[in-house]
Structure 1
Amino acid sequence: MNRRGLIKSFAAVGLVSAVGACAQTETGDDIVDIAASNPDFSTLVAALQAADLVETLKGPGPFTVFAPTNAAFDALPAGTVETLLLPENKDQLVNILTYHVVPGAITSDQVIGQKLDVATVQGDTVRVNGTGGKYGAAVRVNDANVTSADIIATNGVIHVIDKVLLP
């Protein structure tokens, strides 16, 4: 094969790979799909449903979600989750859940070594601390540890946290 043919072959492979990568992103799971497929997020998904935020977080985004696990919700005082899920407490639930969402897709590599105050969809800011010590989590959000970072969705990124953030 001559040099020109070899270059064309590499270009074709690159184009096919790029198209394949785009198709993969478009057909992947969004933030809600990922959360719903993980049993550790069943309380979060129930709260999103009660707050009517599912369609928003299935939207184009991008969003960064600090996702508390079931254990994080269980650590709240007894009866808190049940009370928040009541229809008459929807505004309070929306306030808490939107405090866990930041506009834009922020990955851990963007915060490592930094301390940042980041505006949430709720309107307040969270303190993101990427200067984790030798024995601490690499990234903290307020007083919650990020236990799993950079779960990439089609419309943003999820970071798993071990506490529910309260505004």
Structure 2
Amino acid sequence: MNHVLTVGLGVLGAGLVASLPAAAGDMVEKDSAQVETTEEMQEQAEEMQAEETTETTIVDVASSSGEFEILVAAVEAAGLVEVLSGEGPFTVFAPTDAAFEALPEGALEALLMPENQALLAQILTYHVVPGTVTSGDLVEGDVATVEGSDVTVSLGDSVMVNDATVVMPDIEASNGVIHVIDKVIIPPSLLSELDVEKPAL
């Protein structure tokens, strides 16, 4: 009886030993599959995070809006796309298409001509203030622009920049902020050249 039991146990032990490599192989395969799945999930998460953190610059925001087609065309004509897509930060007082269309007859067409690139750049940079200045940070008074001249900010029932009204503030971009205005503002030194009346401030 003991001999039979010993033989039986020996056979059982041999079977278990024989099955161990196969079981171990299955476990290794499962572990490898889990590692691959985990790596795939990590890669997907990183891709999603990269998409979420993709920079949307001031130029990108303006280009994706239907309100700034003329502004974007002007920025391109003035050679300022790279600048306004740069690190910044910048605060841009962005005139709508309607604001550009309200310029004196022929002025917009003339500004977009290649020979007037420097003049156009001067006007556009007059709409740009260094740094990120949200509506809550605005204070009354003169503010220096990238162009070099000052704009005058007035606070009251509405926010005014020279004689332009801020109609939509605080559009965020990765390299600054945009405040939408209803008029094109002109540096004082260029008013006579464009036959635009000096704003009453």
Q: Distance in 2 between matches of 1:40 and 1:77?
A: 20
Would you say 1:152 and 2:172 are equivalent positions? yes
Q: 1:16-31 maps to which residues of 2 (within 5 A)?
A: 26-31=53-58
Q: Distance in 2 between matches of 1:76 and 1:36?
A: 21
Alignment of 1:61-76 (within 5 A): 61-76=88-103
- 1:50 aligned to which of 77, 80, 100: 77
Give the structure with the larger strand fraction. Answer: 1
1:99 CA drift (Å): 0.2
Q: TM-score, normalised by structure 2?
A: 0.66
| Residue of structure 1 equivalent to 2:33 | none
Superposed displacement of residue 129, structure 1:
1.4
More helix by share: 2
1:28 Cα deviation after fit: 3.7
Aligned equivalent of 2:124:
97
Matched-pair contact (CA < 8 Å) for 1:25–1:154: no
Q: 2:181 aligns with which of 158, 161, 166?
A: 161
CA distance in 1, matches of 2:169, 2:52: 19
Q: From the superposition, tell whether residues 96 and 122 of structure 1 become closer, same or farther in structure 2 (CA, over 3 Å).
A: same
Query: Percent identity between the aligned chains?
Result: 59
* Gaps in structure 1 of 5+ consecutive residues: 1-21
Rounded to whole Å, the distance in 2 between the matches of 1:97 and 1:125 is 13
Unaligned segments of structure 2, at least 5 residues: 1-48, 188-201
Which of the two has higher C-alpha Rg? 2
3-state DSSP class of the match of 1:110? coil
Aligned equivalent of 1:106: 133
RMSD: 1.6
How many residues end up aligned between the 2 structures? 139
Query: Partners in 2 of 1:104 and 1:57 — Cα distance?
Result: 12
Answer yes or no: is the 8 Å Cα contact 1:99–1:122 preserved in 2: yes
Over 4 Å off, 4+ runs = 22-26
Tell me which moved more, 92-101 or 24-33.
Answer: 24-33
Letter in 1 for 2:184: V
Considering Cα pairs closer than 8 Å and 6+ residues apart, tell me whether 1 or 2 has the greater RCO: 1
What is the aligned partner in structure 2 of residue 40 from structure 1?
67
User: Does the C-alpha gap of structure 1 residues 32 and 50 become closer, same or farther in structure 2, counting only changes over 3 Å?
Assistant: same
1:24 CA drift (Å)? 7.9
